[in-house]
């Protein structure tokens, strides 16, 4: 069995942003040479997420509205965590959206369902953060 590891780095221009990273993950898969196995993608920061869904702008707007209803950024004073920081909402949004995804690799390709894409979700951006790509298989 082979193993491959790479870090993808991101620095978003806004505090919250969704970035489609499917192409970068596919490039990693090609680099790995693995034809059958699993890809793990996980955010290495507690205020960011990796998840799978459709790459549709209306859905992305819906995520922003929904996440703000569940964990509004302001007022900052509503969160105990914000006595030292201002990103409690980002921690909660990450919990809602999840830390990682695992995708099967079949015949050297990501084995997706219809419309599935991999996204990096940033909830406290404007600084460098990373996503770990780990691929195992043959």
Containing 16, the helix (H) or strand (E) segment is none
Q: How does pLDDT run across 32-49, given as a tens digit for each residue?
A: 999 999 999 999 999 999
The total of structural domains in the chain comes to: 1
Average pLDDT over residues 118-136: 98
Average pLDDT over residues 97-126: 98
Two tokens, residue 101:
């995804």
Where residue 37 sits, what CATH number does that domain have?
Answer: 2.60.120.460
* Residue ranges making up the domain that contains 109: 2-137
Q: What is the pTM of this model?
A: 0.96
Q: What's the chain's average pLDDT? A: 97
Average pLDDT over residues 55-74: 98
Percent of the chain predicted with pLDDT > 70: 100
Distances (CA, A) of 52 to 16, 77, 90, 101, 127: 17, 32, 19, 7, 23
Spatial contact of 56 and 18, defined as CB atoms under 8 Å apart: no
Residue 7 has a pLDDT of 98
Residue 107 has a pLDDT of 98
């Amino acid at each position: 069995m082979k193993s491959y590891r790479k870090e993808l780095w991101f620095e978003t221009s806004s505090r919250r942003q969704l970035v489609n990273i499917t192409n970068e993950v596919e490039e990693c898969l090609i680099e790995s040479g693995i034809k059958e196995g699993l890809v793990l993608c996980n955010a290495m920061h507690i205020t960011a997420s990796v998840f799978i869904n459709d790459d549709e702008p209306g859905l992305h707007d819906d995520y922003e509205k929904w996440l703000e209803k569940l964990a509004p950024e302001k007022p900052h004073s509503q969160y105990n965590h914000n006595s030292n920081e201002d990103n409690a909402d980002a921690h909660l949004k990450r919990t809602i959206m999840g830390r990682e995804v695992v995708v099967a690799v079949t015949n050297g390709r990501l084995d997706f369902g219809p419309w599935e894409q991999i996204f990096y979700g940033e909830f406290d951006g404007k600084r460098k953060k990373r996503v770990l790509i780990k691929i195992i298989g043959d």
